[in-house]
Structure 1
Amino acid sequence: MTTKRFGIAGAGFSGAVIARELAEAGHEVTVFETRDHVAGNCHTERDPETSVMIHRYGPHIFHTGNERVWEYVNRFGTMMPYNHRVRTTVGGRVYLLPVNLLTINQLFETALNPAEARAFIAEQADSTIGEPRNFEEQALKFMGRRLYEAFFLGYTTKQWGLPPTEIPAAVLRRLPLRFSYEDSYFNHPHQAIPRDGYTSIVQQILDHPRIEVLLSTGYGVADRGQFDHSIWTGPLDAWFDYRFGRLGYRTLDFEEIRDTGDHIGCAVMNYGDVEVPYTRIAEHKHFAPWEEHEGTVCFRETSRLAGEGDIPYYPIRLANDKSVLGQYLDAARAEAGVTFVGRLGTYRYLDMDVTIGEALTAADGILDAIGSGAAVPSLFVDA
């Protein structure tokens, strides 16, 4: 086998997993990371004052039904069982999320059983709407006005910075209601948070003699010549120097709150009223219920449009962005010597388990191409 040299932009899960797979196959890898730490937006660190494990860029809950991915993360750290539950404050009252049987009965002051609740919501739904043209019509067709206005209108408006009438119907892919009292936020068989944080896991993934990690170091066009192939996990439009314009993202601002004892009494409290400027408060010690802390650290989150210097969190993917995205994807497919992966590299919102799974698939494809002497594809997913 001929040893290849790979340059990887980004030390989040995408870059780290691919780096490890290539290194274990005998190749040399250099990982470039613009931040002063690995793990990207999953970065965790101990708060020096309280010892609470902080999810620096917002809460990250690991959940998956992919056995390969589950086995993979367990190679590099201890995953502690964690069942994520979310509450929401609306109109001066606290409700359970996702919207379930208790939420419905609380809001409508009823005592419906599952069958009665299904029939009741069917009566609330707006049957005059044919093919929904936007998020609001999709919600009204599914659940009716009262549920929509209580739990979706305000939060969605704040999260996207747009009225729901301007958001595609596809964003609300399915009826987000449960006709039971189950309030676990996710329903995957594996739900956990790493005991020592996500950064520790990524550090372990990158701990290989054939991997060099360069922190606070960007990967530029000039660096490409050092390597046989590049892996790009940064923004797709940045690779092409924004030649077709910038793709849109939402970013988050965090306001820190310190207290003793409990501040909100749960891991995440959403705020659905549009008059409340922030979307949620996360109390981070509740993400590690196996630990005990006297002090507490919370972060109040506010969503806004990302500027040039902001950290991109959520791809907008509205009509204009999809048009620009098509041009970038065509350019990416024609680009030789580089593979685009991950949330930023393919301009998609991805959960951690999907990110890891796609990185493993990409690594398999890269190694197969090398073994067969074929050109390495620029994309392994339909973005």
Structure 2
Amino acid sequence: MKKYLIIGSGFSGSVLAQQLCENNIVHVVEERSHIGGNCYTEKDAETGITLHQYGPHIFNTDNVEVWNYIQQFCEMVPFINRVKSIYQNQVYSLPINLHTINQFFKKDFSPKEAKSFIESLSDTSIDVPQNFEEQALKFVGKDLYKAFFYGYTKKQWGCEPSELPASILKRLPVRFNYNDNYYAMPLQGIPRNGYTEIFEKMLNHPNITVTLNKKLTAEEIDFSEYDHVFYSGPIDAYFDYKYGRLGYRTVFFEKFTDEGDFQGNAVINYADQETPHTRIHEHKHFTPWEEHDKTVYFKEFSKETDEKDIPYYPKRLQGDMEMLEKYFEEKDKLSNITFIGRLATYRYMDMHHVIAEALETAKQFQ
């Protein structure tokens, strides 16, 4: 029987713990006061509404293995995320689809007509897009880019879209039909009782010990006590920022409680630069199978991550990637430790990517 230390209790750490605990001793250390990382949910004391405390999480995947795995720990209720965007006092559907195009340009295009029209707006001088802005201009042209991407992106990332990699925009399709499902994945849902139940069940095993409210630095880890260590925190923090801090954006929220229904939808983006928040999420709409007289909604704001903030989104600008190479070189010198998850590998990863990576990693140590 081996002994493993896992730092972090989000999906990376919790899946690893669940997979490794049967014939091993597992100690999970979490710096926050709760398990589940940014996927943590809890019932609002006043309204009884399940709150996504760190922002909306809609599980979506094309990985059947991951879909089947997660349902061992919850009932996944089908859920379609139909995001809206407000630009200059008009409400539009996202991703950009045939309804968005016709509404924005005051047309009644058929799919073929819309496709030809959007192609005519494309910046044909851009062969291979080198950044976010070029990717958008090549895909949808100047007007749609300015309306739905420029202001929102600048607020979200805190820099000009031309400074961001083109890969960020590849997650946002353009559709020439009336499909307003935000995600293209075939399997989509939200756990009936919230995400926290999943983590509680994953970590509920006599061979798993969980320690909350404890932040372990590299110097504090006693490697002699464990057969292997798994680290899911920020890679630059592990090395005490010896080459500098990697760029992350973080988000923070203003919470409001109201009667009835505030906005009639789970998520509405605010595309105008002049509006300080990036979006509003109204949490009762994530559980349409429930009925609530009151409502809770969060205004979401984006900012640069400082020492006291929780990092959310890796920026991956050129300077970040050069710094990351140095941290990877340090990591590769180490033995007996595996860096796993979004923060430790400095990649944007959805929940299903994180789970798949953890399942694959666990196979090497079972």
1:78 is aligned to 2:54? no
1:19 is aligned to 2:17? yes
Q: Look up the match of 1:240.
A: 239
- Where do 1:254-273 residues align within 5 Å? 254-273=253-272
Q: Compute the RMSD of aligned alpha carbons.
A: 1.2
Q: Is the 8 A contact 1:224 1:230 kept in 2?
A: no
Q: Look up the match of 1:153.
A: 150
Structure 1 distance, partners of 2:13, 2:87, is: 40
1:329 is aligned to 2:328? yes
TM-score, scaled relative to structure 1: 0.93
Q: Look up the match of 2:348.
A: 349
Q: Look up the match of 1:120.
A: 117
| Equivalent residue for 1:224, pick from 217, 222, 225 | 222
| 1:124-146 deviation digits (Å, cap 9, x = unpaired) | 11112333332222211221111
TM-score, scaled relative to structure 2: 0.97
Uncovered stretches (5+) of structure 1, i.e. residues with no partner: 368-383
Q: Look up the match of 2:8.
A: 10
Q: Is the 8 A contact 2:66 2:352 kept in 1?
A: yes
One-letter amino acid of the counterpart of residue 239, structure 1: Y
One-letter amino acid of the counterpart of residue 90, structure 2: R
Structure 2 distance, partners of 1:300, 1:183, is: 23
| 1:154-200 deviation digits (Å, cap 9, x = unpaired) | 11111111111222233223772100100011122211111111111
Q: CA deviation at 1:331?
A: 1.4
Q: Is the 8 A contact 1:232 1:341 kept in 2?
A: yes
- Where do 1:1-80 residues align within 5 Å? 3-24=1-22, 26-80=23-77
Structure 2 distance, partners of 1:49, 1:119, is: 52
| Equivalent residue for 1:93, pick from 85, 90, 93 | 90
| 1:39-74 deviation digits (Å, cap 9, x = unpaired) | 000000000000000000000010111111111111
Q: Look up the match of 1:282.
A: 281
- CA 1:175/1:125 → structure 2, altered by over 3 Å: closer, same or farther? farther
Equivalent position SS for 2:321: helix
Identity of aligned residues (%): 51
Equivalent position SS for 1:63: strand
Uncovered stretches (5+) of structure 2, i.e. residues with no partner: none
Q: Is the 8 A contact 2:95 2:172 kept in 1?
A: no
Q: Look up the match of 2:136.
A: 139
| 1:204-227 deviation digits (Å, cap 9, x = unpaired) | 000111100011122233232321
Q: CA deviation at 1:334?
A: 1.8
Equivalent position SS for 1:57: coil
Q: How many residues align?
A: 364
